[in-house]
Structure 1
Amino acid sequence: MRSVPVSLVATAVAMLLGAWLLGAGYRSEWHEMAASERTSFDPTYACLQSANLAQLLIGALGVLTVTGDYETGLIRATFTATPQRGQVLALRAALFATVVLLLGATVSLAAFAVGQSQFTEPVPHATLGQTGVLRAVLGVGLYLMLIAVFGMGLGVLTRSTTLALTALFGILLIVPSVLTMLPGRGAEGILPYLPAVAGSQVLHVVRSGNSLGPWQGTALLALYVATTGAAALVMLRRRDV
């Protein structure tokens, strides 16, 4: 697909530019931040937040790697040449996941360096040798990999780019945003267990509120992905195409 290299480059640029803008923003606003915000400031996550944009790009690319074949009709030729549909889906997912994992880990290291370069005194900065920092930086690759496979699963389930992207953006972006706007504290018991919120905890060094731990959140996101993938595999075998 022609969109694959373009989307991967766009993801890298978004993360690097986002890290620079976030770092510069925190540096300029540090003196205006409340004392509680300074105390809970996480310099690692502060420059890795651009992964929140990257996840949408990578997730959308995961959708398109599947739905593109359905919409062009190439999926029929693929399954005619290779009737083992489960193997086709598994190999495609493994290849795409490997590319995203390597890209995410590499770009996150660069984004971390770019972001930290903006944190001059008195803004605290982080180093890879500090506890949890390297895990958070490399965790970007793991998180994006899971989101990529999640997008592929949604693509197989819906066989429609529009429906799959709507579901993806709704799950990753709209539902968490809506819950944060609800009055009362009822949403606090739901938010930590949403896919994007749970999975992104691996990017944090400083834990906040009732959020899950980094590996607990990653495990929960992996469970969402595995469930979606299993459902996609069942539907793939039951449908004619």
Structure 2
Amino acid sequence: MTTAALSPALPTGGYGFAHALRMEWIKLRSLRSTWWALLVVVAGMVAIGVVTMANTKVPSADKTAGFDPTNNVLAGVALGQLVVGVIGVLLVTGEYASGSMRSTLAAVPRRPLVLAAKATVFGGVTLVLSEAVAFVTFLAGRTALDPAIPQPSLTDGGVLRAVLMSGAYLGLVAVMAVGIGALTRHTASGIGALVGLLFVVPAMLAGTTGTTVAKFFPTMIAGNSLAVSRPMPDMLTPWTGFALLLVYTAVVYAGGLRVLVRRDA
């Protein structure tokens, strides 16, 4: 009798993607630490953008052509990618550490659905939040700019694209981080891989080879290709950089999916 009473509430034929999405959304919204960390992203990006613009000086005559205040106001993306990336890794490795991944996979045996739901929920939340924060940061930063410097406008060439791509970049980092978490299955190694990919390796390459190789890494793409209204010399174009970021995300996600499917929880 008990089984008969409960069976109508269970999805027929097992859990589908919609059920997996709902489950991951409940997990995400129940973690206060995640929302506090995302609040740090919001506050940090806005604060860094405002402070950077307040300290932006009128360019000298020889630097006027390359002067790009839009790139300055979006400097907080560097902090945002770190926090978002760490959260994304923890969303996966935390379940392995606590053992709750077994319960998740028992409820949704189709493992590709589990990872897709995690990436969709966290990536979607990050994308919406990041786009909103990018616009708020841009508008707030303009007010802090020296009156002697012409304020950039969303209608200026390349400015709207730079703001939109900066928000989209953080959404891609969120999905990439979920893939790294599934690939490493361990918090320390996952965060280490994330920091290495975003900060350590490109910094080392920039110090030894300049931008020749470093320009192909995510952080360099974000700061020097996406978040610019004027193309920078020796850097990837915005759309080429964005396409390469999509490839990075797909490769890391595929690697994480392969490990999740082939290895026991």
Deviation at 1:36, TM superposition (A): 3.7
User: Quick one: which amino acid aligns to residue 202 of structure 1?
Assistant: L
Q: Normalization by structure 1: what TM-score?
A: 0.92
Identify which of 164, 168, 174 aligns with 2:190: 164
Matching of residue 100 in structure 1 with residue 100 in structure 2: no
Change (3 A) 1:226 1:89: same
Matching of residue 110 in structure 1 with residue 133 in structure 2: no
SS at match of 1:108: helix
Q: Give RMSD over aligned pairs.
A: 1.4
Q: CA offsets, 1:157-206, max 9 Å, x none?
A: 11111111111111111112222222xxx343202211222244221111
Q: Normalization by structure 2: what TM-score?
A: 0.84
Q: CA offsets, 1:44-73, max 9 Å, x none?
A: 111001111111011111111111111111
Distance 1:203 1:222 in 2: 16
Distance 1:237 1:99 in 2: 25
Q: Which residue of 2 aligns with 1:47?
A: 73
Structure 1 stretches of 4+ with a deviation exceeding 6 A read none
The answer (yes or no) to whether the contact 1:133–1:205 under 8 Å persists in 2 is: yes
Identity of aligned residues (%): 35
Consecutive unaligned residues of structure 1, counting only runs of 5 or more, are: none
Distance 1:58 1:44 in 2: 22
Deviation at 1:125, TM superposition (A): 2.0
The answer (yes or no) to whether the contact 1:199–1:221 under 8 Å persists in 2 is: no
Deviation at 1:102, TM superposition (A): 0.5
Distance 1:38 1:171 in 2: 33
SS at match of 2:138: helix
Consecutive unaligned residues of structure 2, counting only runs of 5 or more, are: 1-30
Distance 2:79 2:60 in 1: 26
User: Quick one: which amino acid aligns to residue 224 of structure 1?
Assistant: Y
Distance 2:238 2:170 in 1: 14
Q: Which residue of 1 aligns with 2:251?
A: 227
Deviation at 1:34, TM superposition (A): 4.8
Deviation at 1:35, TM superposition (A): 4.1
Matching of residue 83 in structure 1 with residue 109 in structure 2: yes
The answer (yes or no) to whether the contact 2:118–2:178 under 8 Å persists in 1 is: no
Matching of residue 9 in structure 1 with residue 39 in structure 2: yes
Q: Which residue of 2 aligns with 1:176?
A: 202
Matching of residue 189 in structure 1 with residue 212 in structure 2: yes
> What is the total number of aligned residue pairs between the two structures?
234
SS at match of 2:261: helix
Distance 1:9 1:212 in 2: 31
Distance 2:45 2:60 in 1: 27
Q: CA offsets, 1:105-161, max 9 Å, x none?
A: 101111001111112332232001111111111212200000111111111111111
Identify which of 242, 250, 263 aligns with 1:218: 242
